[in-house]
Amino acid sequence: MGVLENKARARLFYKYLSKVYDQVNPFIWNEEMRDEALEMLDIQQDDRVLDVGCGTGFGTEGLLRYTDDVHGLDQSIHQMQKAWEKFGKNDEVRFYRGDAERLPFADDSFDVIWSSGSIEYWPNPVDALEEFRRVVKPGNKVLVVGPDYPKTGVFQKLADAIMLFYDEEEADRMFEDAGFVDIEHHILQRQPGSPRAIVTIARAPEDE
């Protein structure tokens, strides 16, 4: 487990990163990549959407282009304060401070779940994905963006020491273990040589 796959250390990390997050983030996950991922979801105007690990609201901004019913959850109060500056505490978006592995919502609460740049900090990603499956409506989709596993040994060792990096095979395992179906992956990259993001879309099974 990487050093930042610990909730207390991750919160401390984001306490300081929140000050420069919006300036640093575009070098790894920019608007073009975000918008391309959003187009993979068929979000309707009246959909109720949850943004898990919403951070400063970068993904939230994109979601608001599709629907007015967006809810953001994050464990870092410092990241959320940046989001409040953009959207207000409960104006455009309703925000919740909470844990991806214990979502504070009833079953079948959302039409779509989006999460970008959060899974790499979850100590138990399958537990969080099971929560996604619980709160998304049966038959509906979730989309998760995380860091693609490096291709070279040196960077693999560095990645393993810091946080969760994973490839398509590992993503399949996690989503299947959480009970999702129709799992597909897309690799996005700002430019050749820059960090690669793995975008996974999966569907919660219909009620049996």
Domain that holds residue 136: 7-204
Whether residue 11 is contained in a domain is answered as yes
Check: CB of residue 49 under 8 Å from CB of residue 69: yes
Give per-residue pLDDT as tens, 50-92.
999 999 899 999 999 999 999 999 998 888 998 999 999 888 9
Residue 13 pLDDT: 43
Q: Residue 59 belongs to a domain with what CATH number?
A: 3.40.50.150
CA dist., res. 73 & res. 60, Å (int): 10
Q: How far apart are the first and last CA of the chain?
A: 35
User: What pLDDT score was predicted for residue 20?
Assistant: 40
Higher pLDDT, 83 or 159: 83
- Indicate whether 1 belongs to any domain: no
Residue written as tokens 């995380």? 146
Question: Domain tally for the chain?
Answer: 1
Confirm whether 2 is domain-assigned. no
Residue 2's pLDDT band, with cuts at 50, 70 and 90, is very low
Q: What's the chain's Rg over C-alpha atoms?
A: 16
**Is the distance from CB of 135 to CB of 108 less than 8 angstroms?**
yes
In whole numbers, what is the pLDDT of the chain averaged over residues? Answer: 83
Residues 6+ apart with CB under 8 A from 79: 14, 18, 21, 54, 55, 56
Instruction: Look at 150 and 91; give whichever has higher pLDDT.
Output: 91
The yes-or-no verdict on residue 28 having pLDDT over 80 is: no
